[in-house]
Amino acid sequence: MFDNIAVVGATGAVGSIIRELLEEWDFPFRTIKFLASARSAGKQLIFKGQQYTVEELRPEAFDGVQLAIASTPDEVARDFIPEAVRRGCIVIDESGYWRMDPKVPLIIPEVNPEAIRKHQGIISSPNCSTTQMVQALKPLHDAGRVRRVVVSTYQATSGAGVAGSRDLENGTRALLAGQEYQQELFPHRIAFNLIPQIGSPKYKGYTSEEMKMVYETRKILDDETIQVCATCVRVPVMNCHSESIVVETERKISVEEARALFAATPGLVVVDDLEKKLYPMPITADRKHETFIGRIREDISSPNGLAFWCVSDNLRKGAATNAVQIAQLLLRQ
């Protein structure tokens, strides 16, 4: 048991789910504090039937804290997490800032739990789009070694924060009413539209979100030879990311073997019966902690290829759930 823990970014969308899971899963601790920006400091929260006052995120707020689960922008994680570690706190970080630091393990508990032993005070949780894909790749990699991945993502507006979801909701209402709507966050209308750019331009025409999937996949699976080609698209769906994934393996894996591997893997749920129109959809995964796999089929263009469809709740397994699972893993360690 940890004596003192903290939730950083406690009033945000992910922080709120972290609070919910710590309570629902009865995570053991003696005291807890909730930290957020100066804008949210002073707000009142109810947790396990008690009222708590949100404290402002300052370095001294980590004094005496053993474990913090943090969901903040990158620049906040850059500035405050080292301060927490200097005060003896272990930080599970949801931001992207520390993920590719060689001294920081990047953890999906069902995939690479052993890597947590290498931490030096900071443990990173992967990008949401990477998490669900690597969960699905892991059993295939263990069975036949993944050589190449082509992935197209269909990412919900909740992945861009509350403002992104407001753009979808308010923009849809305005469009249906024949009114104008000024986008709050997205560079283009998201209602009844797709935006084939998530993140900033990075490398040879790929965006930052796409390159995260390249680099994070290799780090989590500990294999720099895996080739990943990603296209990330924002879609007019409120919650849950979907992905179309094509995998080439060193050893051929049949559809039947892949289905059995997926079904036997903790955290994965197979929903796959095309005749009965059964396959994962965003409404399947909403508010669920698992990642759902369907449309499993042979890639008829490649002798060692498999194609499948993958859906997960980006705010839960893609963020809050994974972070709390890392905390549980720390306890077991």
Choose, from 89, 119, 128, 310, the residue flagged as catalytic: 128
The CA dihedral of 141, 247, 99, 160, to the nearest 10 degrees, is: -140
Q: What does the pLDDT look like over 80-123, one tens digit per residue? A: 999 999 999 999 999 999 999 999 999 999 999 999 999 999 99
The pLDDT value given to residue 1 = 85
Assess whether pLDDT exceeds 90 at residue 17: yes
Q: Which amino acid is at 250?
A: E
CA angle 125, 15, 63 (to 5 degrees): 85
**Long-range contact pairs involving 211-217 (C-beta distance under 8 Å, separation at least 24):** 212/96, 212/99, 212/127, 212/129, 212/130, 213/127, 213/129, 213/130, 213/133, 213/151, 213/153, 215/100, 216/99, 216/100, 216/106, 216/126, 216/127, 216/130, 216/134, 217/130, 217/133, 217/134, 217/137, 217/149
Give ranges for CATH 3.30.360.10 in the chain.
Answer: 130-314
Choose among 318, 156, 164: nearest CA to 235. Answer: 156
Choose, from 119, 232, 240, 241, the residue flagged as catalytic: 241
> Which residues fall within 8 angstroms of residue 93, CB to CB, at 6 or more apart?
70, 77, 81, 122, 123, 124, 125
The pLDDT value given to residue 93 = 98
Give ranges for CATH 3.40.50.720 in the chain.
Answer: 2-126+319-332
Concatenating the DSSP letter of every residue in 234-265 gives E-S-SS-EEEEEEEEESS---HHHHHHHHHTS
Phi, then psi, of 38 in degrees rounded to 5: -60, -30
Q: At what angle do helices 13-24 and 321-332 cross, to 10 degrees?
A: 40
Assess whether pLDDT exceeds 90 at residue 333: no
289 is catalytic: no
What average pLDDT does the chain have?
Answer: 97
Mean pLDDT of 302-326: 98
Mean pLDDT of 261-278: 98
Q: What does the pLDDT look like over 31-59, one tens digit per residue? A: 999 999 999 999 999 999 999 999 999 99
Q: How far apart are CA 250 and CA 240, in angstroms?
A: 31
Q: What does the pLDDT look like over 141-175, one tens digit per residue? A: 999 999 999 999 999 999 999 999 999 999 999 99
Task: Specify the CATH class of 2-126+319-332 in words.
Answer: alpha beta
Buried b (16+ CB within 10 A) or exposed e, 14-32: bbbbbbebbeeeebebeeb
> Topology of domain 130-314, per CATH?
Dihydrodipicolinate Reductase; domain 2 (3.30.360)
Mean pLDDT of 264-273: 98
* Percent of residues, the chain, with pLDDT higher than 70: 100
Q: What does the pLDDT look like over 175-200, one tens digit per residue? A: 999 999 999 999 999 999 999 999 99
Sheet of 122-124, strand order: 55-56, 29-36, 2-8, 67-70, 90-93, 122-124
Concatenating the DSSP letter of every residue in 185-242 gives S-SS--TT--B---S-EEETTEEHHHHHHHHHHHHHHT-TT-EEEEEEEE-S-SS-EE
Which helix (H) or strand (E) segment is 128 a member of?
A: helix 128-144
Choose among 234, 306, 280, 250: nearest CA to 132. Answer: 280
128 is catalytic: yes
Choose among 331, 317, 253: nearest CA to 111. Answer: 317
Q: What does the pLDDT look like over 208-219, one tens digit per residue? A: 999 999 999 999
278 has which bridge partners? 273
- Residue 242 and residue 318 in contact, taking contact as beta carbons nearer than 8 Å: no
